[in-house]
């Protein structure tokens, strides 16, 4: 246990460094506005009924011009369009899409966030110091296609699962832990926000919180609770989860860290040399225990 805590202490320092370097993080109340509304109720596993405690969308406003003017978000949004939501449907990857995957990696590697993450990983002996080789490593972790569905073709990759979301046999929602995708899907009426998840009334989150636990339905399927960063840049999430992914080789790693004012559990599942899934779980925020 001590080793885990020590690791978390070191990770806490690194992740806070990344947090401070994340100049592409959007500002709540200015660049975007959310409306939390009601606290979501309990949904039984496998049930697709959730009482709607939020009549309006989660995102009241997002400055899309600003979003699209930031290179990493612009490439990120291009990628969101490229994935077929259903697992078991073999992904057809066009040359153009492969190029877009690379452009996204190139653009995040220009940021201080990823440069800092790269330096840390090199220091820990987890990544090659050569930038081109490190980009290849990132590509394998996030974009290599693998079989998530045993019967199907190569139907999934880490990026798709975490950032885009997938449906499994038309039954449950997997992934979709990214706020930009959540916003875009909500705008297209594919996502219906049901309310925030919190244990008791005293845990009410704030509209300027950068991490939330949400309940929603996507294309009619319910996700009882999904953790998500709000307003952070794509490079920040890629940096965080890449570092955790490379720390160990177990099927699953969970670390508890304090980033800014948030006490978080960060979870990463591995699928061979790639990310199976990764997400944050908000445990508490400065003045509130969950």
Give me the active site residues, please.
161, 177, 223
The 10 Å Cβ neighbour count of residue 110 is 12
Of 178, 170, 230, 176, nearest in space to 35 by CA? 230
Determine the Cα angle at 120 with ends 119 and 122, to 5°.
Answer: 65
């Amino acid at each position: 246990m001590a080793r885990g805590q020590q690791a978390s202490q070191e990770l806490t320092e690194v992740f806070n460094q990344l947090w401070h370097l994340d100049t592409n993080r959007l500002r709540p109340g200015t660049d975007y506005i959310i409306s939390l509304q009601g606290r979501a109720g309990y949904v039984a596993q496998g049930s697709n009924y959730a009482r709607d405690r939020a009549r309006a969308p989660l995102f009241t406003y997002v400055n899309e011009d600003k979003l699209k003017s930031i290179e990493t978000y612009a490439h990120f949004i291009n990628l969101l369009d490229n994935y077929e939501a259903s697992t078991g449907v073999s992904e057809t990857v066009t040359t153009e899409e492969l190029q877009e995957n690379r452009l996204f990696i190139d653009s995040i590697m220009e940021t201080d966030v990823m440069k800092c993450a790269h330096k840390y990983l090199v220091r820990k002996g987890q990544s090659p110091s050569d930038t081109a080789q490190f980009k290849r490593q990132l590509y394998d972790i996030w974009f290599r296609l693998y079989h998530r569905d045993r019967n199907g073709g190569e139907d999934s990759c880490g990026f798709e699962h975490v950032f885009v979301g997938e449906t499994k046999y038309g039954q449950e929602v997997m992934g979709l832990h990214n706020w930009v995708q959540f916003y875009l899907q909500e705008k297209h009426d594919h996502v219906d926000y049901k309310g925030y998840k919190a244990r008791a009334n005293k845990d009410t989150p704030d509209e300027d919180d950068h991490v939330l636990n949400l309940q929603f339905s996507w294309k009619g399927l319910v996700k009882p609770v999904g953790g998500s960063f709000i307003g952070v840049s794509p490079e920040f999430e890629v940096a965080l989860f890449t570092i955790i992914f490379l720390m160990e080789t177990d099927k699953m790693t969970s670390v508890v860290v304090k980033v800014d004012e948030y006490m978080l559990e960060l979870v990463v599942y591995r699928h061979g040399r790639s990310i199976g899934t990764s997400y944050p779980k908000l445990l508490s925020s400065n003045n509130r225990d969950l």
